Amino acid sequence: MFRVGANSPVLCPDQFADYTEQAKEAILARDWDRLTRDGCAALLDAATAVRRIGSQETRPVTTHSHQDLLAATLGLALTEPLTWPLTPYLFTDLFYVGDRDDAAEFVVRVLHRDQTPGLWALRHGRWEQYLRCRATGCGHRRLSEGEDFGALFLPLTPKGVVVASVQEAVDEYLPDEDVEFDDKPCQRCGAVGVFCKEHEFTRLPPVLILFLNRWTGPSASEAILTPIETTVELRFKGRDYRLRSVVAHLGPTPSAGHYVTVARHDTSHDVWWLYDDDRRVMATEEQRATTCEYRGWGPMQSYMVVYEAA
């Protein structure tokens, strides 16, 4: 059962799954059911007591994992009345104590592998790196190293100019490149010198989280603030993905500004919605693509993009 108080409506787990139709939310529904059955009055009080964000002098101490806090936030968001905006105090209390945080840093900390283990499989990907001998007639490949990832940080100037779309950025991600190793001869032919460094994705995640690397240096002059279209139907390493949401930065510098989100929610009114603090409106096609200016802030700068496997 999902229950917020003695007089609150109840949302059963099967109804929750039908409502969301997403695996990650079904996982959080299970966790929220466990939390409410075990009793977590203090957690619910902390999530709903109205206060000003960043007003705490110290960060609260909690024994709950970030996955539990996500489950509580989602459970409350799907509790009547659904039209009320919900401030995610469980996370603002932890991360916004009189300071400002980068959206990518915030998400990386919230979705840390140790803090949200139940969600890791949904965003877990892996690539392997190989060195291929370029000696004539050889071509031997040897495994160099690999890496697990929960999100990818995409360079936006892979060829010296800014990419036009997310699709172009992923197409240019981790290109083959020549490297020199005089002290590491080929294991087959013994040749030394130039090898080709290649990458092969051996696991593609069901949920693909991409961060566009707009902040290339510490100064504002090094920021990439031009619009980059958020591709709806994405092809990544042989797999099809579909856009679910995009977080856009607004403002002329990386150290200050504002964030808004455009997310896909299939309703009887529309599909794409724009969230600006407690304001939700239907998003225009240009806002979904983040190719327009927004309410006097200047151009929308797509920053974090979330895709689901099609």
CATH of residue 232:
3.90.70.10
Residues 156, 61 share a domain: no
Residue after which a domain boundary falls, among 66, 99, 132: 99
Same domain, 130 and 87: no
Total domains, the chain: 2
> Does residue 296 share a domain with residue 202?
yes
**For 118-165, what is each residue's pLDDT tens digit?**
999 899 999 999 999 999 999 999 998 899 999 999 999 998 899 999
Within a domain: 90: yes
Answer yes or no: do 91 and 130 share one domain. Answer: no
For 227-279, how does the pLDDT look when each residue is reduced to its tens digit (9 = 90+)? 999 999 999 999 999 999 999 999 887 777 889 999 998 777 778 999 998 88
**For helices 66-77 and 103-110, angle between their N-to-C axes, nearest 10 degrees:** 110
Shared-domain flag, residues 62 and 152: no
Query: Do both 132 and 18 map to the same domain?
Result: no
pLDDT at 17 over 70: no
Higher pLDDT, 198 or 48: 198
Reported pTM: 0.86
Instruction: Say whether both 95 and 31 belong to one domain.
Output: yes
Enclosing domain of residue 277:
121-309
